């Protein structure tokens, strides 16, 4: 018969088994907005959070400059995994990314998912947060500057200049598989009421978007496209709704790009004149 009581045996086991001795860390993950590309547009909180990562999952819309800043001077750099979800490009399937985040978080890693722009604006951050929270992972979300905002500002235009617009609509041009997508003529009618339309992922279906909007908006409505906003590769074109697809082809613009439609683009000319006066 053993002289050691079951209670003592359990206590000894606790003392020698490192998994039991070390209090288990609550599984944790952060979804961090990397902004449009310029590392100076990263928030202080975003930078602090990515620098705490032991595993960094990087979206393909995140600029190399932002990743370099996240890694700079780290004595123990995180494991960096490039993942991405770009329409039309070969990329890591969403389900795989979610499984990877979950398994790393459950294994005790400090998982940070660095996403282009803002994680909760068309970034599937909502789905990722739901999937992780459902498995007991604590999810922190850190906002970033969304590319639609950076694109409009790159043109020198405020989303909601009081003289031209009383609101803004952020819309995706990429419908979910099998879903009908938005009714562009209805959105055009809303834009006609003074709302600026900011379209993400609109380049692949630009002709259909243009045709729908033209059912509700005059062809002369100002339009603009900004590719790679907030990065050194930034390019843009100004046009009208009627000449949108033609202008995009003529300038050779492609994804990732933001399409902006609305009278607020008139503010660009006014602001440029004011700037010249100041100069
Ligand atoms: N969460 C991101 C959006 C992801 S959806 C954000 O808040 O910005 C992907 C789409 O975002 C692209 O198809 C494109 O329309 C837009 N996009 C992302 N980065 C961009 C950039 N630097 N310039 C222009 N458009 C960009």
pLDDT digits (tens, 9 = 90+) for 144-160: 999 999 999 999 999 98
Decide if pLDDT at 23 tops 50: no
Please confirm, yes or no, whether 177 is among the known catalytic residues.
no
Q: What is the pLDDT of residues 106-137, one digit of tens each?
A: 999 999 999 999 999 998 899 999 999 999 99
Q: Give the position, in ligand 1's atom list, of the atom nearest the Cα of 255.
A: 13
Within 6 Å (CB) of ligand 1, which residues are found? 36-37, 61, 115-118, 121-123, 146-147, 151, 200-201, 226-231, 255-258
Domains and CATH numbers, the chain: 25-145 (3.40.1010.10), 148-272 (3.30.950.10)
Buried b (16+ CB within 10 A) or exposed e, 148-182: bbbbbbbbebbbebeebbeebebbebbeeeeeeeb
- Indicate which residue's Cα is closest to atom 13 of ligand 1: 201
Q: What is the pLDDT of residues 243-278, one digit of tens each?
A: 999 999 999 999 999 999 999 998 876 666 555 555
Point out the catalytic residue in the list 38, 85, 169, 238: 85
Name the pLDDT band for 92 (thresholds 50, 70, 90): confident
Q: In angstroms, what is the span from residue 122 Cα to ligand 1's centroid? A: 8
Point out the catalytic residue in the list 59, 101, 115, 118: 59
Cα–Cα distance measured from residue 108 to residue 169, given in angstroms and rounded to the nearest whole number:
40
How many Cβ atoms from other residues are within 10 Å of residue 25's Cβ? Answer: 11
Please confirm, yes or no, whether 85 is among the known catalytic residues.
yes
What pLDDT, on the 0 to 100 scale, is given for residue 128?
Answer: 93
Is 151 within 8 Å of 227 (Cβ atoms)? no
DSSP per position, 3-64: SS-HHHHHHHHHHH-HHHHSPPPPPEEEEEE-BSS-GGGS-HHHHHHHTT-SEEEE-TTS-H
Please confirm, yes or no, whether 38 is among the known catalytic residues.
no
What pLDDT, on the 0 to 100 scale, is given for residue 87?
Answer: 44
Q: Give the position, in ligand 1's atom list, of the atom nearest the Cα of 199.
A: 15
Name the pLDDT band for 56 (thresholds 50, 70, 90): very high
């Amino acid at each position: 018969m053993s002289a050691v009581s079951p209670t003592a045996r359990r206590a000894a086991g606790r003392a020698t088994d490192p998994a039991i001795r070390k209090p288990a860390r609550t599984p944790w993950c952060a979804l961090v907005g990397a902004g449009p590309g310029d590392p100076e547009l990263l928030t202080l909180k975003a930078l602090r959070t990515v620098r705490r990562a032991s595993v960094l999952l990087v979206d393909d819309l995140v600029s190399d400059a932002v990743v370099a800043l996240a890694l700079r001077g780290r004595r123990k750099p995180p494991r960096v995994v490039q993942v991405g979800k770009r329409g039309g490009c070969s990329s890591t399937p969403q389900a795989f990314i979610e499984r990877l985040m979950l398994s790393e978080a459950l294994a005790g890693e400090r998982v940070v998912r660095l996403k282009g722009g803002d994680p909760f604006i068309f970034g599937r951050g909502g789905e990722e947060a739901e999937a992780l929270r459902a498995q007991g992972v604590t999810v922190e979300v850190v906002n970033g500057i969304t590319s639609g905002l950076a694109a409009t500002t790159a043109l020198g235009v405020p989303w909601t200049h009081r003289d031209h617009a009383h609101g803004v609509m952020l819309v995706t041009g990429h419908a979910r598989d099998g879903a009908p997508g938005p009714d562009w003529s209805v959105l055009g009618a809303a834009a006609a009421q003074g709302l600026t339309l900011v379209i993400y992922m609109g380049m692949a279906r630009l002709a259909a978007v243009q045709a729908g909007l033209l059912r509700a908006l005059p062809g002369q409505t100002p339009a603009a496209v900004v590719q790679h906003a907030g990065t050194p590769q930034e390019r843009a074109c100004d046009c009208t709704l009627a000449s949108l697809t033609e202008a995009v082809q003529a300038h050779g613009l492609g994804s990732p790009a933001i399409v902006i439609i609305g009278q607020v683009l008139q503010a660009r000319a006014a602001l440029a004149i004011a700037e010249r006066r100041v100069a």
